[in-house]
Structure 1
Amino acid sequence: MLLSLLGAVLMAKAFWAVPVDVQVYRAGGQAVLSGDWLYDRPVTEDLSFTYPPFAALLFVPLAWLTLPVTQALWVLLNSVTLIVVLRRSMRSPQWTHVLPLAGLLMLVEAVHTTVYIGQINLVLLALVLLDLLRPDGARGKGIGLGIAAGIKLTPLIFLLYLVITGRWRAAGTTCAAFATTVLAGFVLLPQSSRAYWLGGVFADASRVYPDQLSTHNQSLRGMLVRLAGAEQPAFLPWLLLSATVIAGTLWLARQVSARGDELLALSLIGLLAAAVSPWSWGHHWVWLVPLSVCLVRRLAQRPLSWWLLPTVLLPATFPWILAIADPPPNMPQRPIPADPVHFLLGNLYLAIFFATLVVVAERLHRAVRVDGETASPVRPGRSAR
C-alpha cells in the first residue's frame, strides 16, 4: 500500500515535470499549421519528429494550446488511460482493485517515464488492447490497431499475430485502417510523407538518439551493439536473432491464445514489438502493464511458481534502480562495468521478456503433458485413479 501511495505521489508530480515529448508532439502540430517539413530539421531545440506524418496531423490541436495546458491535459490523459487499461485487463470495475495497482505501476520506469515526459505509449497500448480484446467477428475489430500503427509503426507486429491466429477479417481491417492513415499523410502532407516513407526516415534509428551504444536502447539491437562495442551490429546476426525471437514468441502467443488467455498472448506480442524494434526506450515497454495483471492473477493462485521469475525482476525497473545502468538522457553516459549485475540492469526489459517467454513455454509444456495423460486410455487390468 505504501508503494502504491508513493506511485500516486509520483503521478501527481508529473504535472511539474519537463514534458519533452509533448513538446515534440506540439511542435509537430505547429509544423503542419505553418507548412514546414517535419523531417529536415529538429522540431524543437534539439529533438526531431520521428513519427509518421499522420501522427503530426493528430497533434495539430496541441498547437492551439499553451504548453502548460497541453502538459496538464497529457498527464491526465495518461493517468486515465492507465486506469482504463487496468480495468479492462483485470475485468474488475472495483476501484479498490485497480487504483492500488495503478499506483504501484507508476514506480515501473516504463510507466513513470511515459507519464513524466508526456509520451504516447500508454495511449497506443489502449488503442491496441481495447481493440483486440473484443470478440472475434466484432464489427470494426482491427481499426484501433491500424490507427495505432499509423501513429507509430511498432504495433504493426500485431498484424502477424492476427494472421497466425486466423483472424483474417481483423487483419484486413487493420491493413485498411493503416493504409488510410498513410494515404491521409500523402494527401495532406505530401513532401513529408515522401521523405518518411520513400526517403528512409522511418528506418533511421540515429534520428532517435545519436549514441547507438547507449543503454537507453533496450532492444535486441541495442544489446548486440553493446556486446560488440560497435555503433552498428553485424546485420546478419541481428536479423537471425530477431527472426528467431519473433517466430518463437508468435508460436507461444498462438498457443496461449488457443487456451483462452488472450490478455497474456497480446502482452507477449506487445513486449515482442519493443524487443525487435531497432530502438526501444525503456518507456516503450508499457506492455508490462497488462503483463503485470497476468502475473498477479497467476501468483494469487500459486504464490510459489515459475511466474515469480519475471515478477521478481519488475522492482528492478524502478527508476532509481535502473538509473545505475541507464542514467536519464540529460545526463552523460557512464562506463558500464562488465559484471553480470550491470549487464542485467543494462538489458533489464529484455531479461523480463525472456524470463516471461521461458515461463510461458514451461507452463505450456506442462499443460500439454497433463492433457496427454488425461487423454490416455486406461490400460486393461488397471483402474483409473
Structure 2
Amino acid sequence: MRPPSTERGRLLLVLFLAAAVAAFTATVPLLRGWFDLRVYYGTVDAWAHHGGRIYDYRVPGTSYGFTYPPFAALGMLPMAFVGLNTAIGLALLFNLGAVAFVLWVLVRRELRRYGWFGWALACCALALLEPVRDTVSFGQVNLLLLALVLADAWLLSTGRGRWAGAGIGLAAAVKLTPALFIGLLLLARRWRAAAVATAVAVAATALAAWAAPDASRFYWTRAVWDTTRVGRLDYVSNQSLQGVLARLVAPETPSRAVWALAVVLTLAVWMWRTHRALRAGNWRAAFALTGLAACLVSPITWVHHLVWLLPSFAVLVHRRRLRIAGALYAVLCSSVVWLWFDDASGIDGFLGSNTYVWITLGLLLGLPVGQPRLDRPPLSRSASTVPPAATPTAPDSAQVSSRPGPSPSPTGVAAGSEAGPDCARGGRPGSSEPTGTTRPVAAKPQSSSERASSKTM
C-alpha cells in the first residue's frame, strides 16, 4: 500500500491515524486513571501543605504510596502549587515532548527523508507500544528519564561533552535503574562523564537529605532494601529475571542466590557485548544493550519500564532488520502477557507470562553490535594515529581498540550514526483504581504496590 502522494492526503491520513490511536488508547487498554501521578501529587501536596511525611502518604482508599528516592519527591514538589488537573496536563505535555526528543535522538536520520509525514507516523506507532501508552496513562516518568539519558548521548556526540553525564546522574537520583549507564561510561573510559554523572547523583541525593532528612534516612536504611514495598515479585507485570523466578516458585519466595547468579551472568553478557560494541565504535548498540541489561537485572521491571527497549528498536531499524523490529513491535503492542494474569503455571504460563523477558534477553544476546560494512572506517595505521575530520559519520574503530584513552562518545545514539566528533578526536477514568490492559479488573492496581508504577526501580 502506497502512502498518499499529496500533502492533503498525508494530512488526512495522519489525522485519521491519530484519532484511531487516541480512541484505542482510551478504550481498549483502558486508561489507568493517572494513578501514579495521583501518588506523586498526593505525596508532595501532603508534604508541602499538611506537614505530612513523604513515605507516610497513601492514596485514599488504597494502601499505595510513594516509593521513589527522596530526590524524586523534591523534583516533583512544584506540583504541590498547581491543581491536579493542571498537573495531569503538564505531565501529558512533558511526556509528549519526551517522545519527540527520543525519536529525534534515535532515528532522526532515518526519518529525515520522509519529512513531517514520517515523524507523524512514527509518533502514532510509538503511542501504540504498551510501555509507552502505559507510561502516559499512568502519568509515569519513564520517558522523561530516557530523554535525560539520551540528552547526555547527544551532548557527547556534538562535542558539547563538558556537562555530559548530568542527565544520567539526575535520572539515577530519581530512580535507581539508570545508574547502570554510569557503568557504561566507565566501560567506555569516559572518565569525565562518569564523574559528572556520579557527582550529580550524589549531590541530588544530598540535597534531598538536607530537605527531608527523616525521609532520606528511612529510604536509604530501610525502604530501598524492602522489595515488598514495591509490589509482588510474581505479578505478571514484573518482566524482569526476578519476576520469572518468582512466578516459577509462586507462592513461595524465589531464591536470592539463584537471582544473584542470574544477575551476575546477565551483567557479564552485557559487559562482553557492550565492550564489542564500543570497540566497533557502535555507541548506538552499547546504549541499547545497557537499557536491556538494566531491565533484566532490576528486581522489578514493570511493563511501562520497558521504554528502555526503544534504543534497541533504533539499532534494528538502522541495521535494516525491519522484519524482526516489526515482529517485536507487534508483540509489545499486544499486551500478551496479561493473558496469564490469573494463572502463570504450566509450560504455557512460563513461556507466555514472561514474553517480554524473552524479548529482552533475545535482544541482549542477538542485537547487532558491530558496524555495517559501509559504516566501517579503514583499519589503516593512519586511522589510529591521525585523527580524521570531526564528522558524525566517521567512526574511528581502530582508534577505539588501540588507544587506552577515552572512548568515543555515544554518537550512534544521538546523531543517527555510529560515531561523532568526540570519537573522531578520540575524546480507568474517574477512578483511583486503574485496570489491566487486556485483563479483568484487579483487586489492586498494576501501579503502586502490585506494580512499580511509583516505585524505586
Determine if the TM-score, normalized by the shorter chain, exceeds 0.5.
Answer: yes
The amino acid of 2:21's aligned partner reads G
The amino acid of 1:207's aligned partner reads R
Deviation at 1:185, TM superposition (A): 1.1
CA contact (8 A) 1:252 1:360 kept: no
Does the alignment pair 1:206 with 2:231?
no
In the alignment, the residues of structure 2 paired with residue 79 and residue 11 of structure 1 have an alpha-carbon distance, to the nearest angstrom, of 15
Name which of 325, 344, 350 aligns with 1:336. Answer: 344
CA contact (8 A) 2:233 2:243 kept: yes
SS in 2 for 1:286: helix
Is 145-154 or 11-20 further displaced after alignment? 11-20
In the alignment, the residues of structure 1 paired with residue 30 and residue 90 of structure 2 have an alpha-carbon distance, to the nearest angstrom, of 9
The amino acid of 2:199's aligned partner reads A
Relative to structure 1, the CA distance from residue 85 to residue 44 in structure 2 (aligned partners, 3 Å threshold; closer, same or farther) is farther
In the alignment, the residues of structure 2 paired with residue 96 and residue 182 of structure 1 have an alpha-carbon distance, to the nearest angstrom, of 42
Deviation at 1:319, TM superposition (A): 4.5
In the alignment, the residues of structure 2 paired with residue 264 and residue 177 of structure 1 have an alpha-carbon distance, to the nearest angstrom, of 25
Aligned to 2:140: 119
Deviation at 1:354, TM superposition (A): 1.4
CA contact (8 A) 1:141 1:170 kept: yes
Aligned to 2:9: none
Deviation at 1:4, TM superposition (A): 5.4
Deviation at 1:257, TM superposition (A): 2.8
Deviation at 1:260, TM superposition (A): 2.7
Relative to structure 1, the CA distance from residue 128 to residue 354 in structure 2 (aligned partners, 3 Å threshold; closer, same or farther) is same
Relative to structure 1, the CA distance from residue 8 to residue 84 in structure 2 (aligned partners, 3 Å threshold; closer, same or farther) is farther
Q: Tell me the C-alpha RMSD between the 2 structures.
A: 3.0
CA contact (8 A) 1:25 1:59 kept: yes
CA contact (8 A) 1:17 1:117 kept: yes
CA contact (8 A) 1:48 1:208 kept: no
CA contact (8 A) 2:25 2:31 kept: no
Aligned to 2:259: 238
In the alignment, the residues of structure 1 paired with residue 30 and residue 304 of structure 2 have an alpha-carbon distance, to the nearest angstrom, of 18
Q: Which runs of 5+ in 2 are unaligned?
A: 1-12, 382-457
Larger relative contact order (C-alpha < 8 A, sep ≥ 6)?
Answer: 2
Aligned to 2:197: 174
Relative to structure 1, the CA distance from residue 268 to residue 133 in structure 2 (aligned partners, 3 Å threshold; closer, same or farther) is farther
CA contact (8 A) 1:127 1:148 kept: yes
Aligned to 2:21: 7
Aligned to 1:22: 37
Aligned to 1:266: 287
The amino acid of 1:7's aligned partner reads V
CA contact (8 A) 1:218 1:282 kept: yes
Deviation at 1:217, TM superposition (A): 1.0
SS in 1 for 2:239: coil
Structure 1 residues 187-219: Cα deviation after superposition (integer angstroms, max 9, x where no partner): 110000000112x2112221122x332112111
Q: TM-score, normalised by structure 2?
A: 0.71
The amino acid of 2:283's aligned partner reads E
Does the alignment pair 1:318 with 2:341?
no
CA contact (8 A) 1:32 1:57 kept: no
Deviation at 1:227, TM superposition (A): 1.3
Is 86-95 or 155-164 further displaced after alignment? 86-95
Aligned to 2:272: 251
Aligned to 2:96: 79
In the alignment, the residues of structure 1 paired with residue 108 and residue 208 of structure 2 have an alpha-carbon distance, to the nearest angstrom, of 37
The amino acid of 1:280's aligned partner reads T
The number of residues matched between the two structures is 355
Name which of 289, 293, 300 aligns with 2:314. Answer: 293
Deviation at 1:164, TM superposition (A): 1.2
Does the alignment pair 1:354 with 2:371?
no
